[in-house]
Structure formats: C-alpha cells, structure tokens
Structure 1
Amino acid sequence: MKKLFGRATLQNTEDEGRNRRGQQGGIAAAIAGRNGPGARNLASLGLRRNIFIQGKEEWPRATSGGLGMEIVEKRADGSVEYKFVHNRMYQDVQRQFQLCVASMDPERMVQLLHHNPYHISTLLQVSEIAKQQREGAAAADMLERALFTFGRSVHSTFAANMAAGKARLDFRRPENREFWLAVWRYIATLGVRATWRTSFEWAKLLLSMDPEQDPYCLRLLIDQLALRGREPEALINLVEADYLQRQWKVPPNLAFSVALAYDRIKEPQKARSALRNAVKEYPWIAARLCKELDISPIPKPVWAKEPNNDYQEVLCQLYVPKAKDLWNTTEGTTLLVEICYSFEEELGAGEDPYWLAQIPENDLARHVILSDNQALLSLLEVRVKSRYTSVSDPLPPDDSIESYDTSTATAAAFSGRPRNAALLQELLADLEMCRDYFERIGIDRLTQQDVNDEDLLRALEEANSSLEELRSYTERFQLVQERLHVEGVQVVLNEPPEVRGIDTGSDTDE
C-alpha cells in the first residue's frame, strides 16, 4: 500500500522553483505533465481500454479532472441523448482557462496544462499553439489525449449505443461542443497523415452524434474521406439513405462524388446516371471541374457556367479544389467529358437546384472557419465573421445551453476565494474511503506487472468487487488527490500504510 497511499501533509504548494522549471520546459513540459509517485501502476489500469483512443504509457498519470457524462433522455425512436458534464473542480479549471485566454499569454496556457494535463479546453488550445510553432507531433498528441479523456469519461451505456448508431449529443451544450472540435481537428490531423479510412470512421462517428443538424456540415467533407479511404460503397449507402436525403437532399459534393463511387465499384451505368443528374443540377460545378482539370475545350453544355451567388461559390470552392485529384484519372476525366457532352438541350444556370437544401448560415460559416481557408472567409457575411471571437468555441449557436458561468469576471472572483475547510474535510474523508477499498481488494498484488486481465477480474470477484467499481474508485482517488493539491494539500505517497493520521506540521498555511 505504501506505493499508493500514505499520510496527507498540509503544506504550501506555491513552489516557485518548480514553476520556473515548468516555464522553461514550454510545450514539452506540458506534454510530460505531472506523474505523482506511485501513480503509474494504478493509473495504467485505465490505459487498457478506451472506446476512442488507446492511452500511452508516457502520458501523465492523472484523472480527467472531473469530466463525466450523464443521460439526458431516452427517446421514442430508440436513440439516447447524453451530455458531458463538469464537476465543481473541473469548472474551477475551466474558469482558470478563460483567464488564460484573456491574458493572451501562451506560456500561461502551457502552465495550466502542466498542472491539469487532461483538461479538454486547455489541451485543444495548447494543441493549436504547438501547431503554430510547427510542432505537429505535439499538437496531434494533445488531440489524442483529449479524445482519450472523453473516452474514459463516457457513460457505461454510451459505447453500446454509439456502436448501434443511437447515441446523441446536443451541440447546444458547450461541454459537448468540445467533443466536436476535438474530433474535427483529429480528422484534419489524420488527413495530414493520409490515414483516410480512419478519418472517414471518425467523421461517421461525429455525424452520428447529431445527424439531423450536422452542425459542422460534415456532409460537405465526408465524401472525400470515403473515396480516399477506399470506401465507395459506404458513400453510396450514405447518399442514398432516405433519412439523410430528407435532411440534406443531395448537396453538390455528394452528387458528383457518388458518381465516382459507382465508377469505383464497376457500376458504369449507375455512374453515368448519377453524374448526368449531378451536372444537370449543378452545371457550375462541372464547369469548374473541367477548368481545374485543364480539359480543353470545355464542353459547350457547361461552358461559362458559374456559381450564381456567394453561397454557391462557397460550395464550389469547398469541393472542386480538394476533389480535382480524385477526378484527375483517365477514367474520371473520360466520364466527366462524356457526360458533359451528352446534353443536347441547353443547360440552365443552376440558379435554384432542386437537390440543394439551404444550409444554415452559422453552420456553413463554422465549417468554413474550421477549414481555415482564407479565400472562403472573404465570402462570408461581415456580420457572421464578427461573431467569430473564440478559437476554442467557433460560432456557438444562438440558443447555447450554458450549465455554469465561465466568464472572466467570475473566473477572477473564484481564483481569489479562500480555502473551504468543510470541503477539505470532505476530501480527506473520501481519501480514507478510497484507501479502505484498495486495502480490501489487495491493490498491492493487483498492480504487479505480471497480473493479466484474467487475474485481475478473478481477484476482484473474490473481493466482491468489479472492474467498474475499481475504475470508479481509481478515478475518485486521483480526483481527490488533485483536488487536495488545489486546496493546498499534498498527498505524500512514500509513507508506510499504517500511518493514517494527518500531520499538520508547523509550517502550513492553515
């Protein structure tokens, strides 16, 4: 037990020398985080299983800091709405994060991450800092750490419902929006690595969280991920799904890409039919594709066809520059030219395509902002761009559901509050409860390196416990340890287990 527990020693935690060392370490120090003594064996149990990302041994041994998930409602259609939640400790760190953002000091943000290595907002922000400093590996690592944190915080029923396509998250909740942002940026990272099939799977997962609203407009991206990931049949199923057609109709990127998908699976007649419909609905996409592919002369039926407004121009620029290499094959260009020349009648301008549903302005703008395309940003309305004030929460919806106040004024007030004596006693009582549990199950033996999963489950059963209970107490212990640290109390882990008292000493700040 001495590897895990000892006495709680009240002491001043403002170690200026340690802070200076952390500042010098910069982003590298933030990635390393803080591994407390004895934390490795216990926390490594949580690395074994995660529904999103496999944990890494070099990551800091710490809890999620108070991130959790609750069920909001079970719906009549069988879907279940969940929400990520922040406990009081996590809310405190969130307010500290807002102060760091307001300070515009990257080093301060890095230090916050150093002390809270699994705080989602800070991970996402420092990941962006690392990307700007061309530390791509560090940026990706922090995104993975964020997804790992989400994975170990989900409700016990979430994984099964997610696999069945029945899990839902409401985008109006800020805690949920962080999940969208983390996954989006991870998809972009996977694209840089050219791991397209994995990118496609993540896009499908994110889309399944809210297919009705699709707040990140994944419908404008998912076709390219599917084709690059060699999943043409999955793309066809997506485009032809009645439910999604009612929601989205068929935007231009899907209309053209599904023709390529049919061509990939050796269905030439369906490929021609799909492309003919696409060209008829969106002649300005066909014309732009021909131009980008240096097809000369441009077939007369689509010659001089241009987007009719900024909305169509945005859709055109989102698709053609990225998709042209998918069409730039002998088969692709031959098919495109053949279909464009097949029209005997004059094509319309495509001013009001029947297949084109109007995408909500904020959702499309959010997609453009996240795509980081400066040319497209210039096409957005000024009044929309003026609302883009936060990299950590781009264009929140007007009906956002705030569960607590994270304003900088509130954060400043919380940062100067005195230590709560009642809370301190409650935390120490929780610590004692955790110690009793771990003694009961014989944690010393269970954390040995030669104990496999089967041995672990058997030992827990003999102790009338379970893996879920072990995880719960592990999380609880580490959360209490971190909260005590915030309150100025450090749990010293190098004392023998029989020492169970509280040494207040003579140099405390109590």
Structure 2
Amino acid sequence: MSSRALRKLQNDDDLLASILASKEAKIKQSKPVVKETTPINRFAMMNDDDSESDDTDNSSIQDNEKKQSTEIAEPVKLMTKSQRRRQQKKKKQQKQQQKKKQEESGSDLEQPSEDEELDKLLQEFKKKDIKNLSKLANADLAMDSDSDFVTASESEQDDDEYLIESHEKITGDIETDTTFEKFPIKFLRHAEKFFNTDFRKLDPHSEFKLLFDDISPELLEDIDSVTSTSISPQQLKQIQRMKRLVRNWGGKNRRSVPNGPGGAPHTLKLTKIREDWIPTPRGELGMKLLGNDDLIDWQLWQRPTDWKDVIEQDLKKWKKVISFYKFEPLDDDINRKAITEFYLSVIVHPDHEALISLISSKYPYHVPALLQVALIMIRQGDRSNTNGLLQRALFVFDRALKATINFDGASCQLPYIYFYNRQFYLAIFRYILALAQRGAITTAAEWCKVLWSLSPLEDPLGCRYFIDHYLLLNTDYSYVIELSKSPLMNSYKQWYTFGLSLATVYSYFKIDEFGKAKNELQKCFYYHAPALVYLFQEKLAGTAMHTEKLDITKFPSELIEAKAYMSRFSAIWKEVVDINFLIDEISIILKSFENDKSLIDPKFLLDDDEIPDETDENPFFIGDIPINLLRFAILSEESSVMASIPSNIWSDCEVYEFDVLPPTPTSKESRDIIETVKSFIDDRDLASSQAMLLQDEDMLNQIRQLSLQQYIAQNETNNEE
C-alpha cells in the first residue's frame, strides 16, 4: 500500500472517529465518563507480524494521536467491520426488547432510533470520503520514511498521466484503430484497481452474510451441501458411492478436486462442489499459455493490414506484462463426440429432450450443453435448476484455472477467437444475470469486473454497456467517478458509453457535487446527443426543439444504447429530485445547443452524403455498430433492445444462442485460426450421426403410420358391426 493510501486511511479514520465521538457525546451527556485509553495505531493493523518495527516507525504518529485525544471528551476506539456488525446486532436486539417492554406496559412513547441517526452520519462520511477522491488522486505527496517531512513520490507522480479531465476531448476511434494505440500497455498497471483481485468477493454467500447478520456458518454449509438440480434419492446414493472411488473430491470446504497425474488435488477458486455433481478423476478442459506463434496468428486476424514484424515488436512488449491463455479439451475424442451430439440436438434437429439427456447421462460437464439447457429452463419458467447448471459450467473452467491466475487484467487474458474461451465469457455473463435475480448485486458487480478483465480492450461482450447498472445499485459512486477519469473510459469514443456517462452524472449528483454533475452531463451530450435527446423525449416527456439532425433512427448504435439504458432507467433514477435535476439540466443544454452547434460531436451534424464509408475488415464492427454492443443487446434478451437491432444482422450473421456473433475471418489465413463449434466436429461423424437419426425418425414414422392404419381398420370394423 502506498504512503498516500496510508495517509488517506488515517484521514478517513480520523473523520469517522470524530463523527462517532460527537455521536457518543450527545448520547451520554447525562453521564459524562472520562477514561484513559491508549490511542490505537491504525497503521499497525495492516501487519501484525511486524509489531516491533511498527512501534519504532510510528512513535511520532502515536504521539500526535495522543495530543489529539486530549481534545476529545471521550476517546473512541475504532472497530473492525465484524465488531461493528456485532454491535449493531446487539443494539437491534436491545431495541426489540425495549419495544416489547413498551408494548407490555402500554406505553406509546416513541424512542429515537440511534441506528437511523448513525446511518445518516455514515452516509455523510461516505459522501465526504468520495468528494476527497479527486484531491487525493492529484496529491503527489508521500511520507518520507527517514524523516517527518513530506516528500513527493515518483510512483505517485506517474499516476497523474492517467487522470483525464472531463473537458478533454476523446480522439481515439476503434473504427480506424484496431491496434489500440491510444491505450499503451503500461496503462494496465493503473487499470488493475478496476478489476477483481479478491476471489472471496465472487462468492454470493459473503454478500448474504453482510445482508443478513443472523445467517450462521452452519446454515451456509447446509446451503452448499444441497443439490444444484433435481435428482432422485437413488441417483444421489450412486454418486455418494462414486465419491469413495475418487480421491480428493470435495474436502471439508468443498473446493478440492483431483486434477493432473495421480489425482493431485486442485483447489477451486470460483465454485464449490455440490452433492449431485458426479465425481471424476480428471477435468474436461485444460488451460494453455499461448505461445508466440499463436499470438501472432491472433493479431494477424485483429490487424489484417499490419506488417508481421510490427506485430512481433508489439508482442514482445505485451508478453512482459500480460499472459494470454486459451481453454482447450483434454480429450479430443470425447469432446468431438459430445460436440457432434450437441450440434445435432441444437442446430440440425433441435431437440430439447435429447439435449437434457446429453448432460444427464453421457456428458455431465459439457459446457455448451449446460449453458443451453440453463437457457431453456429459464424460458420454461423453471429457474430453480438454472443456477446449479451455471455453477456446474463455471466449475469446468474453475477446475482448469492455473494456480497463479488473477483477474487483474494482466495475468489472465483470453483472446475471443477461441471457442471455449467464448464459452467462459458466456458462462460468466449468464451467471451475472442469475446473481442479480437472487439479489446478490454486489457479487454481480464483482463478476462484471472479472468479465471485463479477461479482455479489457476488446471487451467482447460489452461490459461497458451494463456494468454501470450493478455499480449504481450497489451505490459504488467512488468506482464510477474514478473510472470516469481513467483511460479505460476515455481513450476511445466507443469506450465512453451512454450508460457510463450518465452513471458518472448520477454519482456526482448523489454526493452533492452538482457542478461536476452538470459538466459530465454536457460531456454526455457531446458524445451521445441523439441518445440523450431520445431519453429526454421518451422517458422524461420533454420537448426538444431544433433537433431534427439528431434523429436517433439515423444512428443505429445510439438507438441500441439508448434502448438498453432506458430498459433499466427506472431502477436507478427513482427519486423525484434526481429526475427533476436531469430534466432541468438537459433543457438548459438543449437551449444552448440552439445557438451553439459545437456542443456536440460534429459527426452528428453530417449530411448523408458526407458520412464516411464503412471501414473494411474491422473485426470489431458490423457496419458502423460495435459488435460487442450487438452481442450485449442479444444476450440481454430485452425485447425493446433486440427490436432496435437492424434486420440484416439477424439474416446475414450467425446468431447462435451458445455463441452469439462469433468472430469472422478477416483474411484467408485467419479462416483456420478462428475456432467455431464446427472446428471440433468431424464431418464423417456428423454425417453418420445424422443418418442414424434419420433412420430412427423413419422407423418412428412407419410405426406411427402402421398404428394409424390399424386404428382406421379397427374403427371400420366396429362401424360395420
């Protein structure tokens, strides 16, 4: 942790201490008590093992704190999160007992709620903390370890180059830059904080513990032990017997599985084993570190007009910072048979029952089938089994993860041209939706960060178009504000999405930074004028004069973004004061726009004959619409959003539910590089399986026809009699 972060922690703790001290002083005015307590060294909590060295290093800090403590009537001891939760639980119990006594005595006197007052104070503290973020981000001062003087830190001075002010224009455009030159690889060091580096946050039970204090560890253990899908007692007994034959399956924490030679144990990071999961001595997928040749092939697809030697020079820089991987089947024969049957049941002869049978008996850990069946269950209204199927699909990848993997945007990037990499993206996306359905919003937001980290630049499923929703539901305003100043949002126009721009406006407004909220709304209007006008007219019932040029039907990508945001608008903008602010400020901006056309991106004012032709061979666009926006729109399954997608997308492109808009070749050489579902299918096996299927269908038709003839003959005989 940097010295600036330490100083921020100390300042925050001092502010919280003063708030709590004033609170205690008000409560105990009638009973003043003076205690002599030793002030806590807040920095010592960070490393208990080095307490001796901390005593010498922080002696001056402790002296300062002792001086400050004499100015407070009653010193306050800062508590950990668990201690605060226990104290709040104790207060809640006392309040319930007090209420019960009042009801028994017939007293109608209302007692003031200390919890509500404390919550308000903490809300004010949180606002002040977020307001100080920009000051702390720009401060280049750090504590010198050899003296009490404050000196500038070189590493923190470097952070300034990553901060982007709201008035700075975004010049990058992915339509003309598939190499992402506007985002140098060194920026990933700064971007790490926007991704997930703590696997514990990916467990929804951690969130449920915070939401419900009365959930015991025993109850959570019971939840982990239940089956993930419907299963008969007989089948469950068979699985229990199989566990005795497979070493290292489950363990006390349900995170141990055998993997590798000799059944070596592997610790799961993302999932826990359920009772109905069939024990297997080996996983289905492996994780391969991509070599130089693989990376060159991938970049030749992404950058078809670049020279190979230029790509090789770039890769030398990237490989110093980033590790690229691909998931691949461990047993090609088993995978080929499973994929062939899957393809027949989904594409050639759609058969839901055959697909369910595929994962129930033959291939219980076949990821594409698991994800497809989970989607079928949702559409049939059966969500009870969906979560279990999604977790089983994630388990397959979890079992293959390298021990050194971290979702920080650098140690694990997964190129989207590989089929099973895309299945991992899809499994996470579907799991995020399932978590949101269960109310685990904080966990869903953390999984969004994981999904984004797998390919921060390409962002193949468009995390930038929906992550704002979960962040705001989680009131994570500081994350949004920091992101709004980072290159991850400002390097390219396509990265400054409509949702994230309005999320920044909302975040500033909620912490009473009204001036900054207005500035961000003006920036949003500059880059998303058609979408903002459409939102103003359709959702806020406003009237926009002289905006004929901003007809959103002329801008398909703006229409899709606007529709996607409006589908979740009411979940964020709830309070009347928030909506009134939006209406008033948009009205002011539109009035200014009547006299000043420079308030918007000039591309919105071009006539039809001035619009530049579509860029050829750009793998990140279909027409002039970002392909990741289209993937997100289709996967969202929001009818209004899907209806805004141009009809030619549905007719001209591959829109499989298990692989939405897979990458397409940009050259003859890249045809063999991109993996699709057909890459794992042998044409002879497919023809043989299809012939057998047709024979079965012919036989069934003959039986039906024979039965029908018998039925007719029997009826004729009965009529004659």
Scaled to the shorter chain, the TM-score interval is 0.5 to 0.7
Secondary structure at the counterpart of residue 37 of structure 1: helix
* Residues 1:368 and 2:633 are matched in the alignment: yes
Structure 2 distance, partners of 1:306, 1:328, is: 27
Task: Give 2:519's aligned residue.
Answer: 273
Matched, 1:380 2:645: yes
* 1:99 paired residue number: 344
Aligned residue for 1:402? 675
TM value normalised by structure 2: 0.49
Residue 137 of structure 1 is aligned with which of 381, 384, 395?
A: 384
Alignment of 1:146-161 (within 5 A): 146-158=393-405, 160=406
> Partners of 1:56 and 1:317 in 2: how far apart?
39
Aligned partners of 1:263 and 1:271 also within 8 Å: yes
**Equivalent residues in 2 for 1:203-218 (5 A)?**
203-218=448-463
Distance 1:284-1:329 versus aligned 2 partners, 3 A rule: farther
Aligned to 1:122: 369
Q: Which amino acid aligns with 1:190?
A: L
**Partner secondary structure for residue 250 of structure 2:** helix
* Match in the other structure for 2:250: 44
Deviation at 1:309, TM superposition (A): 2.6
**Is contact 1:285-1:320 (8 Å) kept?**
no
Q: Give the 3-state SS of the residue equivalent to 1:282 in structure 2.
A: helix
What is the Cα deviation at residue 328 of structure 1? 3.1
Is 1:207–1:214's contact at 8 Å kept on the other side of the alignment?
yes
Structure 2 CA distance for partners of 1:166 and 1:108, relative to 1, 3 Å: same
Structure-to-structure mapping, 1:183-194, within 5 angstroms: 183-194=428-439
Residues in 1 aligned to 2:621 and 2:326: alpha-carbon distance in whole angstroms: 23
Gap change, CA 1:346 and 1:389, over 3 Å in 2: closer
Pick closer, same or farther for the CA change 1:168–1:187 going to 2, 3 Å.
same
Q: Report SS of the residue matched to 1:313.
A: helix
Match of 1:22 in 2: none
1:242 paired residue number: 487
Work out the CA distance in 1 between the residues paired with 2:409 and 2:649: 36
Secondary structure class of the residue paired with 2:679: coil
- What letter is aligned with 1:67? L
The equivalent residue for 1:168 is: 413
Q: Is the 8 A contact 1:67 1:84 kept in 2?
A: yes
With a CA cutoff of 8 Å and minimum separation of 6, indicate the structure with the bigger relative contact order: 1
- Superposed counterparts of 1:322-337, under 5 Å: 322-337=568-583
The residue number in structure 2 matching 1:442 is none
Aligned to 2:686: 412
Larger mean CA deviation between 54-63 and 386-395 belongs to 54-63
Structure (1 or 2) with the larger CA radius of gyration: 2
Deviations 1:396-444 (A, max 9, x none): 110362388333734336879xxxxxxxxxxxxxxxxxxxxxxxxxxxx
Aligned residue runs from structure 1 range 5-20, under 5 A: none
CA distance in 2 between counterparts of 1:341 and 1:132 reads 41
**Cα distance in 2 for residues equivalent to 1:411 and 1:36:** 35
Q: 1:352 aligns with which of 603, 622, 631?
A: 603
| 1:314 paired residue number | 560
Find the aligned partners of 2:424 and 2:453 in 1 and give their Cα distance.
13
How far off its partner does 1:91 sit?
Answer: 3.4
Cα 1:78–1:350, aligned 2, differ >3 Å: closer, same or farther? closer
Superposed displacement of residue 98, structure 1: 2.0
Cα distance, 1:350 vs. partner?
6.2
Letter in 2 for 1:398: T
Deviation of 1:93 after TM superposition, in Å, equals 2.1
Residue 496 of structure 2 aligns to a residue whose secondary structure is coil
1:220 counterpart residue number = 465
Q: Is residue 39–residue 61 contact of structure 1 (8 Å, CA) maintained in 2? A: yes
* Match among 61, 72, 94 for residue 279 of structure 2: 61
Matched residue pairs, number?
385
Q: Equivalent residue for 1:253?
A: 499
Which secondary structure does the structure 1 equivalent of 2:680 belong to? coil
**Tell me, what secondary structure is at the counterpart of 1:140?**
helix
Q: Residues 410, 86 of structure 1: CA spacing in aligned structure 2 closer, same or farther, 3 A cutoff?
A: farther
Question: Aligned to 1:107, what secondary structure does the other structure show?
Answer: helix
Decide whether the 8 Å contact of 1:30 with 1:117 is kept in 2: no
**SS state of the match for residue 52, structure 1?**
coil
What runs of 5+ residues in structure 2 fail to find an aligned partner? Answer: 1-228, 257-266, 293-317, 606-614, 666-672, 691-721
Instruction: Indicate the SS of the match to 1:314.
Output: helix
Q: Which amino acid aligns with 1:412?
A: L
Contact 2:390 2:430 in 1 (8 A): yes
Contact 2:283/2:400 (8 A) holds in 1: no
How far did residue 300 of structure 1 move? 5.8
Alignment check: 8 A CA contact 1:146 1:182 kept: yes
Partner deviation per Cα, 1:360-409 (whole Å, 9 max, x = no partner): 22333222211223343344344321223421111111036238833373
* Distance in 1 of aligned mates of 2:644 and 2:555: 10
Task: Map 1:277-296; keep pairs closer than 5 Å.
Answer: 277-295=523-541
Look up the match of 1:83.
326
State the alpha-carbon separation in 1 of the partners of residues 502 and 531 from structure 2: 9
Residues 99-120 of structure 1, C-alpha deviation per residue, up to 9 Å, x if partnerless? 3323312111111101222111
Find the aligned partners of 1:181 and 1:353 in 2 and give their Cα distance.
Answer: 34
Q: State the one-letter code of the partner of 1:360.
A: F
Query: C-alpha displacement at 1:274, in angstroms?
Result: 0.9
What does residue 12 of structure 1 align with?
none
Q: Is the 8 A contact 2:356 2:373 kept in 1?
A: yes
After alignment, is 272-281 or 185-194 more displaced?
Answer: 272-281
